[in-house]
Structure 1
């Protein structure tokens, strides 16, 4: 078993490839739409969760890990209380991280502060997580998914700024809490402990995929990163959505 330390793992070449029948990966930008068929969650581990949305306390157990799609696209889910079945095709709109996930259901969009923490999570851990194999791949993928859910669903966290959000995060307490194997929770805690260390890192390559009836997703796209490197994520040019 490999143990991850708190070093920064900058994302490199382990990125999803969009099928040519949809749109070339490097050509995907905010404002596009992409049609993807769901092929299951793997590598993954079972994770139990509790989410208090302010009016109802919901619980469940999900396969937590890498979502696989047609054309080799890989993503992580950012929405606990919607679902999707294998073989389902979804026409996703490509959006900026700040606007994900859609609402209802709760928790609603990340906004600026949560999005900054989410990008830091990706900058420090994504490449490392996606490079793992065997049992380690399952543990680290599940741990990373837990952290995506914790950042997006911990409604008790103060959203004044990224540091305030980070101070309110806890894997096993608060309005969003998670339980899994000791490896998964331990690796998630290491990821949490490393966030904000020396400042919050940017990661312009992660973008959002949203659909009002299916789980919203985060995916990594080099094309978006290349454009954002020149002008910033908010300035990515918008295209006419494909029908």
Structure 2
């Protein structure tokens, strides 16, 4: 009986370790060959996709298990631009913990339940939030579908959580500029239309509406707990 319990405990620890550190271990085995995107975001694939780090000083994945399974891989340019933006935001938005969501497979292709995310140029960014006025990482767990089942009202509130529109706007502002430095541009931002006005009213967001293309009509998923960003190559 003791042997069975010991084996069960060791197996559980190994499974936890694989889920928790698996993505970072697999990143070490990646090829350094630059990525190649083929086809559009809704009908494409990716060659030499790169896994995003599971965490950094001011960012983290929506799910370490999801990252280990390969659901947070992007084009190498997107990875580099995202990490450069987070590094800059350490100074611009101190204390804010950003969370990125699903992106796509390392090889691209159909990525259920998403309709895009197929060529390494699509990223879901979970909304930055405050809890009772203090910045925290958006809570993600299996109980809220890793953040995708949270519901925010037209004021950006969900219980004690409040969307931090200033930090979201700062992220998009920096991401827009840094993307261009890495041979990309932001092609489309999908965010709940009823929340966009709050975003544009924030101080960093005052110019976003004229600089970036946002969806006008509601999408099939509301996009209140995250904002979807499609990038495009500037030299395509």
- Relative contact order, higher structure (CA 8 A, sep 6+): 1
After TM superposition, the score normalised by the length of structure 1 is 0.25
Greater strand percent: which structure?
Answer: 1
After TM superposition, the score normalised by the length of structure 2 is 0.26
Tell me which structure has the larger Cα radius of gyration.
Answer: 2
